[in-house]
Structure 1
Amino acid sequence: MDLNTILIAVAAIIVTYVVFFRKSSKGKNLPPGPYPLPIVGNMLQLGTKPHQSLAKLAKIHGPLMGLHFGSVYTVIVTSPEMAKEIFVKNDQVFINRSVVEAVHATDHNKISVAFMDVGNEWRTLRRICKEKIFSVQSLEASQVLRQEKLQKLREYVEKCSDNGRAVDIREASFVTTLNLMAATLFSIHAADFDSTETQVFGEIMEGVASIVGDPNLADYFPILKPFDLQGVKKKAEKYFGKMLVIVGDLLKKRQDERRSNPKYVMKKDLLESLVDVLDQSSEYQLTTEHITHLLLDLFVGGAETTTTSVEWIMSELLVNADKLAILKKELKSVIGDRTMVESDIPKLPYFEAVLKEVFRLHPPGPLLLPRKAGQDVKVGGYDIPKGTQILVNAWAMGRDPAIWKNPEAFEPERFLGEKKIDYKGQDFELIPFGAGRRICPGLSFENRMLPMMTATLIHNLDWKLEIGAEEGDVHRGERFGIAVRRSTPLKAFPIKK
């Protein structure tokens, strides 16, 4: 980029900021917040771990806090009461997303069920997710496919045990998540442990996670979007494009098989349902692009959040030996020595409490996906101008001593009392997957994958942390992105009983 273009961009930023700041604050009772610096606003206060920085600021300025990120006015929500006002009382006002520039690659923002504005297309895609992809009937039909992949995980861990080799929990859960999703969606095997296929998928997922999670000047100063100064959109086009080619080829192959083979036998996967949707175009009015971008959402979102959650679950259990012992005892009493199946999950209340406690401490999306005010509205007595970006700090709410007793402690027992708090969008103290109409559509699938993968790793197996992995360090060193990961991989030695 030449010097003249840079100077024009800088001048545009200054003019945009001055005009916006005056317009956004004049005559309005905005939520309190730290005073913004010229041009950059409060950007410098975000740091590398925004969920933590914003939680500290909220303790000073309150549960509804206003900040300026460049020219983008943002309100941070850090209490269940304010979250309920956003997701329930004013759901219609905040129904649409504020979308980062990276997601505009391949027009994903216009086609993705996660990011598109609510309308007929969005309602149709949500209906397909609910009735075709994640219905109880569909997930039950594909259960056998997932059991095969979990057995592969068990065999891999046992092989590591035989060889005295530590298991990289994130890598093992990533490969297994890919295979569970590939089996459920496409009836295929995606990757083997320590394989080149794993590296290919890993590169794509890492690429998407980094470009969506890393700061981009174009998100703070929209006037810079045409320039793509940091090359974020270009990188996103590359990674999104690779994933779209993979899922597009699988979709086309299935369509060709069904059309050319008169003796074709229907498979018990979710792709079969999606091909049916395309064949019933008069009813659903969706294109191939809708389906491929939906599959992109499911693969990228599901792989990152599930992989990260499994690693945090194992991190907490391996440093809380007493909690692990209780969980293993429950598994033994309900399952015995046999392999766990998905129908066992509701019979394991302590296991469910462990998952809730991990979601409280380590929500997959710490700030959830951002919302956008569709019109001027009052929340908590404050004015929220049209166009305001809304971030709900689920991480901060999960560690708030006003909500939770001993919030930094890992205590699954807190969820075994008379008050049944769940994480499915009804109890605003715990909303790791969001709430309202835009709650994560794959939640029912996640509810199966996480306990099954965890049980595979701990049932009839013991674990020993790698030498040098201090127990007190397990909770430190977070890395912010689509999901908050451990900054260093969790590695441990499996021990067969």
Structure 2
Amino acid sequence: MDVIINVENCYLLLLLALIVSIPACLFFLVRLREAIHSSRRLPPSAYAWQVVCNMSMSPLGSLANLAQIYGPIFSLRVGALLIIVASSPKTAMEILKARYHMFSGRYIPSLYYRIPRMEQSSVLGAKECNDGWKYMRAMCHNWLLSVKAIKLRNEVRERKMMELADYLHAKEGEIVTIRDVVFATLANSMGNMMVSRDLIDLERECKSGNQSLMGFIGAMLTVLGSPSLVDLFPILNGLLGFWERRKAKKLHQEFKSLWEEVIEERRQAKCTGEEPSQDLLDALIDNGFCNDKICALLMEMLVAGTFISCSTIEWLMVELIKNQGVLHKLRNEIENTGDGDIKNASSRHMPYLKACLKETLRLHPPKLFVLPRRALETCTVNNYVIPKDSVILINIWALGRDPMTWDEPLKFKPKRFLESQLELKGNVQFEFIPFGGGRRMCPGFNVATTHIQGIVALLVHCFDWFLPEGINPDNLNMTEKFGTTVYMKEPLSLIPRSRIP
């Protein structure tokens, strides 16, 4: 009996020792983590409660506020992801230019790569600048994104703009949602550049709401644009991986429903010897691309060529409505330069139109960040260690509103760009990078600026615009809705009145 009692006492003592030692072990692990953190000299790290508080008060300005506390570069730990946020021109220049080869990797949530053939055919989302990426980028540049390719499609683009003008003339005196009509025009313009056909009917698109192509792409971007639980906690991959594969399969089927009929028709036309359309689709088929790769690439180009331009045009129009002096000055430039024909406005010398575009991209960048980069190797920035596979965010929203760089940064003042040498790309000091910078800069720069300047010139030149009755321009809701693209929370609705037949 004594032996049994002693053994039981030993068990109790051992259990008590374990209970007492657990807090000590946790304390030791925390101190060890802090010591490792200090020895590696990671950028200052924001506490989770600070991030939550800032997000709840100001989702768009939260990271800019944290930069005021922690400096131009700081880190966030979100599950397994170490996120490095850069908020100053100097830091952006070091990442995008001085050490571009270290940060030329791309971070995209894993669901994106679960879509069949997406990784092999992606230009924007390719994980590294490998030979496959170079080949895909060259293909898109030659057939879609270069100045030469854009000029070859001038006639098609002009026709789509005239269809927009005809639609708005027919809607004179009625309320029109700018976002819907602009998206439809951009989608059909891109469709003709890629596959030589319209993708949607403008009238039907504007009435379809969430069932429209724009609604589908918006829902798709919501799914693809945010890290999943598997990204944050890789240990859950075995448990939740099947769910991600199921979502990827569904997206893949939706891609195919949009493009596969067009691709098969083109393949059959080639077999019967019909004259080729000489577009991107022809080039992809001729180079042996399978249907899955073509669907993935066309979808990526469509999204990139519509959503960002659509957001920018909407923001520019709302600023013109709120700033009538700027609107009249812009209209005078268009009338004096365009000679009544604004179809090629983007190719004419219109410095004030370009200044309005730059100011819109500064104050309302269509994306909060340059598309996320990924550190390919461990390196240093601003004397801080950036570990391999860290996610790099460059806050272009904060760069455009930095009072150290911009006079009255919250005011819409296109004149500032008439008096500066800042361009839409290639700025030496990286204080203005709406299309990113370095090796992974947005390849659709020329297409975006051509579409935006042409459509805005048409809207301003051919129509007077009025707000629905009872709405004062000063009371317009300018709240930003943050997602994959930064839109107005409430879509801009205006009433057109024809000025030019």
TM over 0.5: yes
SS of equivalent to 2:124: coil
The amino acid of 1:86's aligned partner reads I
| Structure 1 segment 215-294 matched on structure 2, within 5 A | 216-228=228-240, 234-261=246-273, 264-278=274-288, 287-294=290-297
Matched, 1:102 2:111: yes
* Alpha-carbon contact 1:423-1:430 (below 8 Å) kept: yes
CA distance in 1: counterparts of 2:243 and 2:476, whole angstroms: 34
Give the C-alpha shift of residue 328 in structure 1.
Answer: 0.3
Matches within 5 A, 1:77-92: 77-92=86-101
Cα 1:226/1:51, change in 2 over 3 Å = farther
User: Is 2:397 the counterpart of 1:379?
Assistant: no
Instruction: Tell me which residue corresponds to 1:322.
Output: 325
Larger Rg: 2
Q: Which residue of 2 aligns with 1:3?
A: none
Alpha-carbon distance change, 244 to 438 in structure 1, aligned in 2, over 3 angstroms: farther
Paired position in structure 1 for 2:41: 29
Alpha-carbon distance in 2 for matches of 1:349, 1:243? 40
| Shift in alpha-carbon separation, 1:471–1:69, aligned structure 2, 3 A | farther
Give the C-alpha shift of residue 138 in structure 1: 1.9
Correspondence 1:121 to 2:132: yes
* 1:11-44: CA deviation from partner (whole Å, max 9, x where unpaired): xxx9xx989966972521111232346xxx9567
Q: How far apart are 1:232 and its partner, in Å? A: 6.4
Q: Which residue of 1 aligns with 2:491?
A: 489
Query: What is the distance in 1 between the residues matched to 2:335 and 2:32?
Result: 61
Aligned to 2:13: none
Following TM superposition, by how much is the alpha carbon of 1:311 offset from its aligned partner in structure 2, in angstroms?
0.9
2:190 to 152, 163, 181: 181
Report how far residue 272 of structure 1 moved: 2.9
What's the CA shift for 1:191?
1.5
CA distance in 2, matches of 1:239, 1:48: 34
Indicate which of 75, 86, 99 corresponds to 1:66: 75
Give deviations 1:369-428, integer Å, cap 9, x for gaps. Answer: 1111111111011111112111010011001111111100101111111x3111224341
**Is 1:455 the counterpart of 2:473 in the alignment?**
no
Q: Does 1:157 align with 2:157?
A: no
Looking at structure 2, the residues matched to 190 and 430 of structure 1 have their Cα atoms a distance apart, in angstroms, of 34
Deviations 1:122-179 (A, max 9, x none): 0111111222322222221211111111111101111111xx2111001111111111
1: distance between equivalents of 2:487 and 2:245?
23
Matched AA of 1:322: G
Q: What secondary structure sits across from 2:421 in the alignment? A: coil
Structure 2 unmatched runs, 5+: 1-25
- Is this contact kept in 2: 1:372–1:387, CA < 8 A? yes
1:228 deviation in Å? 3.9
> 1:304–1:47: structure 2 CA closer, same or farther, 3 Å change rule?
farther
Give the 3 Å change call, closer, same or farther, for CA 463–19 of structure 1 in structure 2: farther
Q: Distance in 1 between matches of 2:164 and 2:226?
A: 32
Which one-letter code corresponds to 2:344 in the other structure? Answer: V
Matches within 5 A, 1:133-172: 133-161=144-172, 164-172=173-181
| Partner in structure 1 of residue 427 of structure 2 | 426
Aligned pair in 2 of structure 1 residues 460, 291: CA closer, same or farther (>3 Å)?
same
TM-score relative to the length of structure 1: 0.86
Task: Give the C-alpha shift of residue 49 in structure 1.
Answer: 6.1
Q: 1:298 aligns with which of 281, 297, 301?
A: 301
Structure 2 counterpart of 1:11: none
Distance (whole Å) between structure 2 residues aligned to residue 173 and residue 440 of structure 1: 21
In 1, the alpha carbon distance for the partners of 2:57 and 2:301 equals 27
CA RMSD across the alignment:
2.7
Give the Cα separation in 2 of the matches to 1:352 and 1:471: 23
**Amino acid of the structure 2 residue aligned with 1:303:** T
Contact 2:373 2:392 in 1 (8 A): yes
Question: What amino acid does structure 2 have at the position aligned with 1:168?
Answer: T
Partner SS, residue 76 of structure 2 = strand
Q: Distance in 1 between matches of 2:198 and 2:30?
A: 54
Could you tell me whether the CA contact under 8 Å between 1:370 and 1:391 is conserved in 2?
Answer: yes
Query: What runs of 5+ residues in structure 1 fail to find an aligned partner?
Result: 1-13, 279-285
Count residues with an aligned counterpart. Answer: 466
Q: 1:121 to 1:43 in 2, by over 3 A?
A: farther
Q: Between the two proteins, what is the percent identity of the paired residues? A: 30
> Is 1:54 the counterpart of 2:63 in the alignment?
yes
Q: Secondary structure at the match of 1:194?
A: helix
Cross-structure match for 2:9: none
Structure 1: which amino acid aligns with 2:341? R
Separation in structure 2 between the aligned mates of residue 62 and residue 244 of structure 1, nearest angstrom: 46
Q: SS of the residue aligned with 1:455?
A: helix
Q: Using the alignment, how far apart are the partners of 1:18 and 1:46 within structure 2?
A: 26
Q: CA deviation at 1:472?
A: 3.6
Give 3-state SS (helix, strand or coil) of 2:203's partner: coil
Question: Residues of 2 paired with 1:336 and 1:362: CA distance?
Answer: 31
Cα distance in structure 1, aligned partners of 2:30 and 2:143: 49
Tell me the SS of whatever aligns to 1:481. Answer: coil
Cα drift, residue 356 of structure 1: 0.6
Determine if contact 2:179/2:492 at 8 Å carries over to the other structure.
Answer: yes
Instruction: Identify which range, 113-122 or 202-211, moves more after superposition.
Output: 202-211
